[in-house]
Amino acid sequence: MRRLLTLLCTFSLTASAWDATGHSVVAVIAYDRLTPRARSRVDDLLRKHPDYESILTRGAPEEPAARARFAFMMAAVWPDLIKGDRRFYDDTRQNAVPTALLPGFPDMRRHTNWHYYDTPYAPDGAPIQKQPPPSALSELPRLIRELKRASEAQKVYDLPWFEHIVGDVHQPLHSIGRFLKSAEGSDQGGNRVFVMPGQTLHALWDSACGRENSVAYVTKFAAEAVAENPPPRRMEKNPRKWIEESAKIAIAQVYTFGNETGSREHPVRLPQSYMENARKVAKARVAMAGYRLAAMLNDRLN
């Protein structure tokens, strides 16, 4: 199977939440656990996607089964790729100018606020603000409903988004926003916390699964994550519970260095043990995301 590296590196500056590597790992874990019927349905839906040839199977192997698996992996990354795609526009910006509606898309928005829900966390009693919809909290339940009941065209559009956002909310910093008296507003999931030269806390956790994007690496990392973190006996299917779980993990495992924020010039210095634990937690989170993604697609598309 050919490497994903060339294609994914093209978009490395716009990818987020687990980076392309983590999203690919989640997708592999899920795809390998789909029932034959659900797998056939996702394969069929993705073949109808407007970007199937140009993005989802660009550089894919010719062998049909491997090609379909590759497309599912790339679909999980697609919502990040469009952040740098001029066909789409950032609807969260003031005075945003819509781009032309293209065939196969219900809209051309980038929907950047669908990727997260910042559960307010104020360890020192700072005033908080709740994130308004749309967000991952509002969009995941909608996508779950539509994958069962919507038109075929809507399901084609929704599937990559569902793959992606399920992965997103299992990255702890996509489910929390920390408020401190010493800072103005939320830390935006660690995006305003600097932990080493040129890197934010959020970016550190995005890359906790590594930055190697070859299919061989993704497959190996997925196998390790599954071996170390077997499926739960009871599969939680409520997205709100997923987000609450991730927020708790962020409090217990991410913000362990206290109420510091650092700065570009003077970042917070984290010990090697922090990095090692981040990788361990990341493995557990991508495994859980993969299990839950597969369970939901088996339920919705069987």
* Digitized pLDDT (tens) for each residue of the chain, 302 residues in all: 433 434 443 333 333 568 999 999 999 999 999 999 999 999 999 999 999 999 999 999 999 999 999 999 999 999 999 999 999 999 999 999 999 999 999 999 999 999 999 999 999 999 999 999 999 999 999 999 999 999 999 999 999 999 999 999 999 999 999 999 999 999 999 999 999 988 999 999 999 999 998 999 999 999 999 999 999 999 999 999 999 999 999 999 999 999 999 999 999 999 999 999 999 999 999 999 999 999 999 999 98
For β-strands 119-121 and 176-178, DSSP reports them as: parallel
Identify residue 16 by its one-letter amino acid code. S
Distance CA 302, CA 24 (A): 23
Bridge partners (DSSP) of residue 176 are: 119
The DSSP line for 202-229 is HHHHHTTT-S---HHHHHHHHHHHHHHS
Query: Which residues lie closer than 8 Å to 238 by C-beta, 6 or more apart?
Result: none
Amino acid, res. 295: A
Contact 260, 104 (CB under 8 A): no
Domains and CATH numbers, the chain: 5-301 (1.10.575.10)
- DSSP letter (8 states) at residue 186: B
What pLDDT is attached to residue 17?
Answer: 65
Q: What is the DSSP letter of 56?
A: I
Neighbours of 169 (CB within 10 A): 28
Q: What share of the chain is helix, strand, coil (3-state, %, to 5)?
A: 55, 5, 40
Q: How far is CA 251 from CA 119, 173, 175, 247, 259, in A?
A: 11, 10, 11, 6, 11
Report the C-alpha gap between 164 and 116 in whole angstroms.
Answer: 11
The burial class, CB within 10 Å (0-12 / 13-18 / 19+), for 284 is middle
Write out the two tokens for 21. 């590597």
CA distance 104 to 122: 43
Distance CA 130, CA 234 (A): 30
